[in-house]
Structure 1
Amino acid sequence: MREFKRTDRVADQLQKELAVLIQREVKDPRLGMVTVSGVEVSRDLGYADVHVTLLGDTDAERVKENLSVLKRAAGFLRSRLAQRVKLRHVPELRFHFDESVVRGQRLSSLIEEAVAEDLTRQVSDDTSEASSTTDNEKN
């Protein structure tokens, strides 16, 4: 069984704490419903890349605005993390938009469309086969 690296444990802890802090303590009205989808911490614990997703409409302008709000709040969040997490040095926070959820939703809808198209095509093929069989029986 593989032991977890310290950076993995720190990343998990930061993810949990940041999810709570962003939701409860960042009071900027421009900030939408943000979810922390993952955190990657550098080996030296100097940086933490925080990946976030947005619920609802995710147009480029809204994503940009939410990231700028989070970047402005990074110092505040880092100081709050220092109070809550037992680390000698709290990593500098860098926020990134996680497109995987949006991409997944888009792929899922494309798959659903393709399946619906196939079903429609199959039903119309079955209908045309049934009518041609009926025509042949009449002759």
Structure 2
Amino acid sequence: MAPGRRVERVAALIRRETSELLIHGIRDERVHQGMVSITNVEVSGDLQHCKIFVSIYGEEIQRSEVLEGLEAASGFLRGELGRRLQMRRAPEVHFHLDRGIEKGTSVLNLLEQLEQQRETLGEVQSESDQPTTDETTTVNKT
């Protein structure tokens, strides 16, 4: 089996097990203040380091507290991952905030605003194209 394939499999297993541990294993109240989603897991080629990217729904203060709680639980997670995955040495776990969903939402909001502006300008443009009553001439036939 190619080393890249093994790293991908381990990353997928870490993602699955970490998701399970986030729901049932971690008792730190800070972690449960916001909705946490694991968006990506990157494992180094030697399987010694693991970056877990999380998206946290909530205010900025909640995000920082949840991230602190996750970092505090990283030792527990490392031990549990070692036991569950039956690895000789479990990788060091590092959590990173993934802001991709936030950026995507802001881009969608900007596109929506542009569409509304176009519609508004289109209505103004179509009104200015129509002649006013002063500009029209009427011809009276006698």
**Residue type of the partner of 1:75?**
G
2:42 counterpart of 1:40:
yes
C-alpha deviation, 1:100, in angstroms: 0.9
Q: What do residues 21-71 of structure 1 show as CA deviations (whole Å, max 9, x unaligned)? A: 1122212222221111101001111100010001233x2x33221111001
Please report the TM-score for the alignment, with normalisation by the length of structure 2. 0.84
Matches within 5 A, 1:1-139: 5-31=5-31, 32-57=34-59, 59=60, 61-130=61-130, 132=131, 135-138=134-137
**Residue type of the partner of 2:101?**
V
C-alpha deviation, 1:4, in angstroms: 5.6
Query: For residues 56 and 64 of structure 1, what CA distance do their matches in structure 2 show?
Result: 10
Query: For residues 5 and 133 of structure 2, what CA distance do their matches in structure 1 show?
Result: 70
Query: For residues 137 and 57 of structure 2, what CA distance do their matches in structure 1 show?
Result: 59
RMSD, aligned CA: 2.1
Query: For residues 40 and 49 of structure 2, what CA distance do their matches in structure 1 show?
Result: 14
Please report the TM-score for the alignment, with normalisation by the length of structure 1. 0.86
C-alpha deviation, 1:87, in angstroms: 2.2
Using the TM superposition, name which of 16-25 and 34-43 deviates more. Answer: 16-25
SS at match of 1:95: strand
Query: For residues 90 and 3 of structure 2, what CA distance do their matches in structure 1 show?
Result: 23
Q: List alignment gaps of at least 5 residues for structure 1.
A: none
How many residues align? The count is: 135
**Residue type of the partner of 1:22?**
L
Go from structure 1 to structure 2 and tell me whether the alpha carbon gap of 1:14 and 1:129 turns closer, same or farther (over 3 Å shift): same
Bigger Rg, structure 1 or 2:
2
Q: List alignment gaps of at least 5 residues for structure 2.
A: none
Q: Identity percentage over the alignment?
A: 32
Query: For residues 4 and 43 of structure 1, what CA distance do their matches in structure 2 show?
Result: 7
Query: For residues 134 and 39 of structure 1, what CA distance do their matches in structure 2 show?
Result: 67
